[in-house]
Chain A
Amino acid sequence: MSILETQELTYTYSPGTPFEKTAVDHVSLKIEAGEMIGVMGHTGSGKSTLIQHFNGLLRPTSGKILLDGKDIWADKKKIRDVRFQVGLVFQYPEYQIFEETIFKDIAFGPKNMGLDDAEIKRRVLATANDIGLSEELMERSPFELSGGQKRRVAIAGVMAMEPKVLILDEPTAGLDPAGRDKILSHIKAYHERTGNTTLIVSHSMEDIATFADRILVMNKAKLFCFDETKKVFSRAEEISQIGLDVPQITKVFMELKKRGLDFGKEVYTVGYAKDLLLKQLSERTGE
């Protein structure tokens, strides 16, 4: 059984007014437990609207969302429990920080779950460790931190609820390359440690190519494709037609292929490209 499933999910903003706009149009998809998924799509393609349905912040105009096979809107009063199981980190999450200490801010979610103090403490320290925040920072004010550190506090605030599904909307937007790599590797480490399901919205094809098992592409409110990473990037032509990009290294290999040097494989990470080239070279010198 899929952990998260949508059936003909449709969402319309301001229905019945001149501003009516369908942001998500009959989207049906299945996400399996333990997957790491990259979400791509143009600004306004409906991806943000889609992910806000996964934890019940938006209620579909029509269609269903199933969590563990159960309709999350079956009982409206239980929607808060859904939010604890599906953690959503918004874009620029550092703007939601409000507590006096970092510890308290990370503890906000777990506290709302009604956990006892010992469990809250365990979770806060564990996630702080996962995201790379040292324990002596815990009693400091979050507002003294750097931008990248604040971002990590905010992400930890959602992770500490230990959701089965963790969704991050552009967790690296506006960070420098070092901060970006750090956050992504922490998220990946957390994913590997807990075996949770993770969805990351990103505009960086390079990032998506390195971490995602599968890629979900949204285009003009519709699901464009949802497939394994290499299969998605093998459709480079179509992807660029809808205004998205493929990793630069994929472009290099596509150009090589055009000029008659076919490696017979889809290349989308630099590491893989290096291995492939080295292997080719050693084969040639061995001849």
Chain B
Amino acid sequence: MLRDITIGQYFPGNSIIHRLDPRFKIVITVLYIIMLFTGDSMICLAIGAVYTIMAMLLSQVKLKMFLKSVKPLMPFLLITAILNLFLVSSGDVLWRWKFMKITSGGINISIFMIVRIVLLIMGTSILTYTTSPITLTDAIERLLSPLKKLKFPVHELAMMMSIALRFIPTLIEETDKIISAQKARGAELDSGSFTARAKNLISILVPLFISSFRRADELATAMECRCYHGGEGRTRLRQLKSAPRDYIALAVTLLFLAAVIVIKITKPFSF
């Protein structure tokens, strides 16, 4: 059951998107988010959709995976749509019942919001689907490196992030094991009253904490044994190198962003 959690899931591959420099991918994703939130008309959204579909196709990740990324946010989407549908009162009134009414503006905005959020989720999941967590933290470290001048512990932060990501599957496996072991001793975890279940949670959490501390201790020793002493003077096995394709990808993204901005300025259109 716990195995189904897919935080920052990564699908190895060799598509052009996979091969992009992760630093560029992060910057492009930020620009993409700006693009989606700058546009305030359906045309802008259509441009965003074209861009997203293009990137999705290039990434060669199965469409099913993108649909899966949207699934957990369904309730949120639904609430957003319903609130907009009933609370927006611009445009022609199409349907009225007592104090409730639906207007053409409401329908427009509901659709607009849903499409925008879906695009946002799908677009940003391209980043995590095509970039391994380790490369991602590497890129974050490099992008944040100017902050080092301000004595901000960039390397330490990135190292903590990669360790945390690395141990998610390990901890899930560990939790599964402890749950089975306590169930074998008759702990009620998926049956019984709420208080009984809450009480039994202690029997899971205590061993989990203890083993996490033990693991942290062992990891620290192992890292010291391999002469880890922080980021200073540390070199990398895999250097991040930007290639022409990275600049092309960035240029294409900027072009789309510019188009959205131009449309927004020249054709101000609101509901």
Contact = CB atoms under 8 A, between A and B. Distances in A.
Contact of B186 (A83, A96, A143): A83
B180 interface: yes
Contact of A93 (B181, B183, B186): B181
Interface in B162-218: 177-178, 180-188, 191, 202-203, 206-207, 210-211
Contacts of A96: 178, 181-182, 185, 203, 207
A277 interface: no
B183 A98 contact: no
Give the interface centre of B185, B186, B203 by most chain A CB atoms within 10 Å.
B185
Given A96-B207, A97-B207, A98-B207, A84 B178 contact: no
Give the interface centre of B181, B182, B210 by most chain A CB atoms within 10 Å.
B181
A80 B188 contact: yes
A108 B211 CA distance: 20
A90 B184 contact: yes
Contacts of A84: 186
B184 A87 contact: yes
A161 B180 contact: no
B207 A158 contact: no
Nearest to A106: B185
Contact of B185 (A52, A77, A112): A112
B191 A80 contact: yes
A242 interface: no
A145 interface: no
B184 A55 contact: yes
B188 A112 contact: yes
Nearest to A167: B184
A114 to B, nearest CB: 9
A158 B183 CA distance: 11
A112 B203 CA distance: 12
Q: Is the interface of B mostly helix, strand, loop or mixed?
A: helix
Interface string A92-124: 010111100000000011001100000000000
B203 A80 contact: no
Contacts of A97: 207
Contact of A158 (B177, B185, B202, B211): B185
A158 B184 contact: yes
Contact of A83 (B184, B206, B210, B211): B184
A206 B222 CA distance: 34
Contacts of A113: 186
A264 to B, nearest CB: 45
A18 B64 CA distance: 14
A47 B117 CA distance: 47
Nearest to B192: A80
B250 to A, nearest CB: 35
B121 to A, nearest CB: 23
Contact of A112 (B178, B187, B202): B187
A108 B185 contact: yes
B177 A90 contact: yes
A235 to B, nearest CB: 33
Given A80-B191, A96-B207, A98-B207, A112 B181 contact: no
Interface string A270-283: 00000000000000
Contacts of B184: 55, 57, 83, 87-90, 158
Nearest to A76: B191
A157 B191 contact: no
Nearest to A81: B186
A90 B129 CA distance: 36
Nearest to B200: A112
Contacts of B186: 80, 83-84, 109, 112-113, 161
A98 B182 CA distance: 10
Given A57-B180, A90-B180, A96-B178, A109 B185 contact: yes
Given A80-B186, A88-B184, 13 more contacts: A57-B180, A57-B183, A57-B184, A83-B185, A83-B186, A87-B184, A90-B180, A95-B181, A95-B211, A96-B185, A98-B210, A108-B185, A158-B184
7 contacts: A83-B185, A87-B184, A90-B181, A95-B210, A96-B178, A109-B186, A157-B185
In the A-B complex, the 10 residue pairs with the smallest Cβ-Cβ separation, listed nearest first, are A112-B186, A98-B206, A96-B181, A109-B185, A88-B184, A90-B181, A98-B203, A98-B207, A57-B180, A96-B207
